[in-house]
Amino acid sequence: MSMLALDLAATIRHDGHGGVADGLATLDETREWVQAKGPLVAEVLGRPFDPAMLPVDDDVREHLVGVRRAVRSLFARAVSPAPPSKADADNLLEPAEALRLLNEAADELGTTHLEWPAEGEPAMRWSGRSSEPRALLLGAVGRSGIDFLAGPERLRLRACPAARCVKYFLQDDPRQTWCSPSCGNRERVNRHYQRKHAG
Ligand SMILES: [Zn+2]
């Protein structure tokens, strides 16, 4: 399974002070994220992807932020009736609009073709509407979102209910409530404190 869409969603995180930090807020941060995710993009594309070939400008950043909003809106739908991440609960797209955005991004990759070199194994490749790195990045992100939401992993998606957390995570065990042991510990301490001071 590709983790690219989940990784993109995780660029919105708790800032440690009760607020929300956006890992794609600036061009520098977006460049850093794209650099780090090169291998995940390559995994979706089924061929090498060199992030250094992609000039990250405002257009790329805005498109990534748009696909992220679509992914997070659909994640909110996936965890329903449990409440969505608090980070953007007031800022979610209508499902039809989120689906349109995600599908449009994935469409950049075109359709699947079979390649079978004389000396080698048959392999599935995206025909691609373009070999532009920008189109490949957005296409890979969109495709990863589709594969995730249409696949079995969707059923393990959870929004961490800890007060100071905005994370979506994959539940490994049915008893797992929190995204991490540190969220669980913090919540247990909070609840203990609230009970002690409730009356
Ligand atoms: Zn958490």
Q: Which domains does the chain have, with CATH numbers?
A: 4-196 (1.10.3300.10)
Separation of CA 94 and ligand 1 centre (Å): 25
Separation of CA 87 and ligand 1 centre (Å): 12
User: pLDDT-derived band of residue 187, with 50, 70 and 90 as boundaries?
Assistant: confident
CA 122, CA 25: separation in Å to the nearest integer?
A: 41
Separation of CA 40 and ligand 1 centre (Å): 23
pLDDT > 70? residue 120:
yes
Separation of CA 111 and ligand 1 centre (Å): 37
pLDDT at 1: 65
CA 135, CA 153: separation in Å to the nearest integer?
A: 26
User: pLDDT tens, 163-182?
Assistant: 889 999 999 999 999 999 99
pLDDT > 80? residue 29:
yes
pLDDT > 80? residue 197:
no
Q: Which residues have CB less than 5 Å away from ligand 1 (the ion)? A: 160, 162, 165, 167, 179, 183
| Vertex 128 angle, CA 127 and 130, to 5° | 145
pLDDT > 90? residue 7:
yes
Separation of CA 27 and ligand 1 centre (Å): 27
What average pLDDT does the structure give for the chain?
Answer: 92
| Three-state secondary structure call for residue 71 | helix
CA 101, CA 170: separation in Å to the nearest integer?
A: 23
pLDDT at 199: 56
Separation of CA 59 and ligand 1 centre (Å): 31
Q: 86-100, 130-144, 177-191 — which is least confidently predicted?
A: 177-191
Separation of CA 54 and ligand 1 centre (Å): 33
User: pLDDT tens, 42-84?
Assistant: 999 988 899 999 999 999 999 999 999 999 999 999 999 999 9
**Maximum C-alpha span of the chain:** 77
This prediction's pTM: 0.91
Q: Check residues 63 and 195 and name the one with the higher pLDDT.
A: 63
pLDDT at 85: 95
